[in-house]
Amino acid sequence: PQPVRLSQYRPPDWLVDTVHLDIRLHHSATRVIARLAMRPNPEGREGSPIVLDGDELVLKSLALDGVPLAGTSYAATPSSLTIFAPPQQPVTVEIETLLAPSANTKLMGLYRSSGTYCTQCEAEGFRRITYFPDRPDVLAVYTTRIEAERDEAPVLLGNGNKVESGPIEGTTRHFAIWHDPWPKPCYLFALVGGKLERVADSFTTATGKVVELGIYVEPGKSGRAGYAMDALKRSMRWDEEAFGCEYDLDVFNIVAVADFNMGAMENKGLNVFNDKYVLASPETATDADYANIEAIIAHEYFHNWTGNRITCRDWFQLCLKEGLTVFRDQEFSSDQRSRPVKRIADVRLLKSHQFAEDAGPLAHPVRPNTYREINNFYTATVYEKGAEVVRMLKTVLGAEGFHAGMDLYFDRHDGDAATVEDFLACFADANGVDLEQFALWYSQSGTPELRAETYWNEAARTLRLDVEQRLPLTPGQTDKQPMLIPLALGLVGPDGADLPLTLDDGSNAERGVLLLRQPKQSFVFPDLPHRPVASLNRGFAAPVKLSSNLTTDDLVFLARNDADPFNRFDAVQTIALTHLVTATQALREGEAAPSPAPLVEALGATLGNGALDPAFIAQVLALPSESDIAREIGRDVDPDAIHSTRRLLRRTLGEALRPALEAAYSHAAPAGGYSPDAASAGRRALRNTALDLLAATGTSADIGRALTHFDAADNMTDRFAALSVLAHAAPPDREAALAAFYDRFRDDPLVIDKWFALQAQISEPGTLERVRALTEHPAFAMSNPNRVRSLIGSFASANQTQFNRPDGAGYEFVAETVLTLDGINPQVAARLLAAFKSWRALEAGRAGRAQSALRRVAETPGLSPDVSDIVGRALD
Ligand code: HT7
Ligand code: ZN
């Protein structure tokens, strides 16, 4: 397909005011009658034909204003329908199409998941249901009549409020009619029909309206939906309190399905979820699962305002709803849990996914300006970097200025299909500021590199801070402009207290933030009582790669004393990362490894500080991952050397910190039965991290502790943590533990996904054969995205040594799987292929083999647009 370009945006020629759908569900022959009230758009091209999108559609009949159309007055293909020379006035178009939901393995449009009929329309799935102007700037009011066999689909759900339902006399069928009064783009359309169990509750909004809440799950699973319901009610209250956003329908339903391409979908009044992000019980879900459920329930709910009430003009504006909504869900989780721990987790995710994307051939701006396949732009850059940009807006403007901008955005654009420019204009207007330079964050790709150096003048008692910014070149962008970067900082005095941030011109760094605008800038802080240590980019306020001339002693000092918890964490990570990079190079060059003493000191101080939150300590103890180290090294990467170095460091730390780790293990256990709250989860996290580091020493007592932990666990967090330790550290005990785990949870696919993922991550040469064998396991299915992501996705993205085997067999296996999967589900295939995004940074032998595997994919005839786009850009 030809690339779509932002610069070529044109308003639609025809608008749709109302849509009446009559959908008669049948597994192989669903009949859809769509009645569209259309009119020429005064802003479109005069005299235009009506051109509607389709995808694999079969047209059965077509009428204009009630009159069947002659074959000469229209042209229909599976991918488009054109009505020639329509009257240039309001018309009614009636279209009948025939679908086969059971044969729909792409999971876009109308499909079946474990017998339940469901839909996924974002980004371009509605065109697989009926011919339609499938673009987000065409907003219409929908009424949907759904009809099905009563036995097969006793539950029939649609967008909006239910207006009528009942049996169809004299038949075994029944119907329901749903009406959604809010105009919406077709990507927010949804329907569900199936045999589902309902968990019911209600919510009273700030203005006293009662909303009926329902979570629908497969029969027998309603006992696992309680946490999701609780998270939903907390989200609804939080959005009223934090953003003044109140819910706007009588009903809010969520349906959990087992086959889903992504995490969840924010269809108006009818969210559809991957069941992984709804179902949880202490026996089957980890603390991380609970936290994800809370965040994703909130995220989809928050879209009701940021995405649904104000939608996107076109798909280039995707970050307008996704970046902003991720920011909102991050803030929600921070308020519900620990803000510093949430920030640390978010930054870890940002660095591992988005920084990696930005550093390779798939780099693109937060708002891309061209695409071939929009499904490939639901990326860490659009979501996570998009959220960072909104966060920076808040840092630049302050909380009040930010909320003034948000209020104006909701007022000015409610009901609109908006752009990034519209969004930024609200902040500029509400605050009387110019955001032109800030807007570069949306258009320039790549992670800015910031070099900060501090110089202390003992005689003058001044500190000079020199900062230089550089934006690396990225695909298609060779001329980079300096960015507006908010540098949050503190000057930490010898007693740990922050010194004033007064500059030599008498001004203050407002709210602890310096605004960088030029390639190089200097700041002088005069009249300081002592030499401070600069704590830079506090809270990771700017998503940049920072390097500085801080010494290891300075970092150890910050790890002990910084008032900013994120930077305390980051100081330790910097010490660890520097050690790991240097030690990896030393190993490759046969030189002596550097001393881990500063790291041991910083970690020891953290572990021994009883005032710290256990969840925070657990985060500090978690070393940078193998891919973090690879990214820091940047070129000529040898994953085996990285793995050996990291493994050795873990062993050294386990030995050096043994008494403190043993104390943490024995004292941190939460009292009483399992509760998923943040404090209890934090204690479990610390205990399980200690268990893991101790087991890294390999002694039989430490492995024995893990075995006991596994056997004694009364919840999935502890059981799976112990199983992971055994799988990675104790080959002789591994198989028995894996078998016991499988036997216990064999009937629970979501738990078996954990079992698949863990085995795929074992860093041993036998893993590829194990993964190949597991693809034949009865619990594995190529048709289910969760299974594919667990087994093959984990192998490709979370097993650095085995995916990157020196013989290239890991690449060949993943390429082969991508090709098989492409015929079933191209979206999932393309995501899997994106695991190759860092191939150019590898040492020459591996890079050559990765390139050959990619070429093999590229040369295969009949690739989907999804895979063809990724492989093309990866090789470019
Ligand atoms: N807005 C939703 C995106 C989504 C999606 C996109 C393409 C294909 C399938 C999909 N399922 C969900 C989810 C969200 O970010 O909220
Ligand atoms: Zn979203």
The closest of 470, 417, 476, 418 to 443, measured between CA atoms, is 476
Q: Terminal CA-to-CA distance of the chain, rounded, Å?
A: 17
pLDDT at residue 668 above 80?
Answer: no
How far, in Å, from the CA of 122 to the mean position of ligand 1? Answer: 6
307 CA closest ligand 1 atom index: 1
What pLDDT, in 10s, does the model give residues 458-494?
999 999 999 999 999 999 999 999 999 999 999 999 9
Split at pLDDT 50, 70, 90, the class of 772 is very high
Smallest CA separation from ligand 1 atom 5, residue: 122
Q: How far apart are CA 420 and CA 433, in angstroms?
A: 16
Q: Which two tokens stand for residue 134?
A: 């499938």
Run of H or E residues at 455: strand 449-457
Q: Which residues contact 413 (CB under 8 A, 6 or more apart)?
A: 310, 422, 426
**Per-domain residue ranges of the chain:** 1-193, 311-443, 451-542, 547-656, 746-876
Q: Which residues contact 90 (CB under 8 A, 6 or more apart)?
A: 17, 37, 38, 39
E-strand ranges in 284-416 read: 311-312, 370-371
What pLDDT, in 10s, does the model give residues 228-260?
999 999 999 999 999 999 999 999 999 999 999
What pLDDT, in 10s, does the model give residues 558-582?
999 999 999 999 999 999 999 999 9
Q: What is the mean pLDDT of residues 381-410?
A: 99
Q: How far apart are CA 271 and CA 253, in angstroms?
A: 6
Structure ipTM: 0.98
Q: Bin 193: left if φ > 0, else alpha if -120 < ψ < 50, else beta.
A: beta
**Pocket-forming residues, ligand 1, beta carbon under 6 Å:** 120, 122-123, 261-262, 264-266, 299-300, 303, 322, 375, 378, 827
Record the pTM: 0.99
Smallest CA separation from ligand 1 atom 11, residue: 262
8 A C-beta contact, residue 754 and residue 790? yes
> Which residues are 822's β-sheet partners?
none
Ligand nearest to the CA of 325: 2
pLDDT at 675: 97
**Average pLDDT for the chain:** 98
Q: How far apart are CA 191 and CA 270, in angstroms?
A: 8
Hey, what CATH class is 311-443 in?
Answer: mainly alpha
What pLDDT, in 10s, does the model give residues 703-758?
999 999 999 999 999 999 999 999 999 889 999 999 999 999 999 999 999 999 99
> Which residues are 116's β-sheet partners?
113
In CATH, 1-193 is 2.60.40.1730: yes
Percent of the chain at pLDDT exceeding 90: 99
User: Do 1-193 and 451-542 share a fold?
Assistant: yes
Q: Which of 378, 379, 831, 866 for a ligand 1 pocket mutation test, highest count of atoms within 8 Å of Cβ?
A: 378
Q: Which two tokens stand for residue 61?
A: 């009949």
pLDDT at 687: 98
The DSSP bridge pattern shows strands 462-470 and 520-525 to be: antiparallel
What pLDDT, in 10s, does the model give residues 606-641?
999 999 999 999 999 999 999 999 999 999 999 999
What pLDDT, in 10s, does the model give residues 155-210?
999 999 999 999 999 999 999 999 999 999 999 999 999 999 999 999 999 999 99
How far, in Å, from the CA of 324 to the mean position of ligand 2? Answer: 9
Which of 94, 124, 147, 300 is labelled catalytic?
A: 300
Split at pLDDT 50, 70, 90, the class of 1 is confident
In CATH, 746-876 is 1.10.10.10: no
Tell me the CA distances in angstroms from 844 to 339, 558, 638, 839, 847, one per residue in order: 42, 39, 10, 10, 5
Tell me the CA distances in angstroms from 653 to 314, 602, 668, 740, 763, one per residue in order: 51, 11, 19, 30, 20
How far, in Å, from the CA of 380 to the mean position of ligand 1? Answer: 13
Split at pLDDT 50, 70, 90, the class of 394 is very high
Catalytic residue flag (residue 300): yes
Other C-beta atoms lying within 10 Å of the C-beta of residue 667: 13
How far, in Å, from the CA of 120 to the mean position of ligand 1? Answer: 8
Q: How far apart are CA 571 and CA 649, in angstroms?
A: 17
Ligand nearest to the CA of 263: 1
125 CA closest ligand 1 atom index: 8
8 A C-beta contact, residue 817 and residue 831? no
Q: How far apart are CA 683 and CA 665, in angstroms?
A: 9
What pLDDT, in 10s, does the model give residues 86-145?
999 999 999 999 999 999 999 999 999 999 999 999 999 999 999 999 999 999 999 999
Q: How far apart are CA 50 and CA 40, in angstroms?
A: 9
| Superfamily name with CATH number, domain 451-542 | Aminopeptidase N, middle-beta domain (2.60.40.1840)
Smallest CA separation from ligand 1 atom 14, residue: 265
Q: What is the mean pLDDT of residues 9-28?
A: 98
303 CA closest ligand 1 atom index: 16
How far, in Å, from the CA of 199 to the mean position of ligand 2? Answer: 24
What pLDDT, in 10s, does the model give residues 773-825?
999 999 999 999 999 999 999 999 999 999 999 999 999 999 999 999 999 99
The closest of 299, 278, 309 to 386, measured between CA atoms, is 299
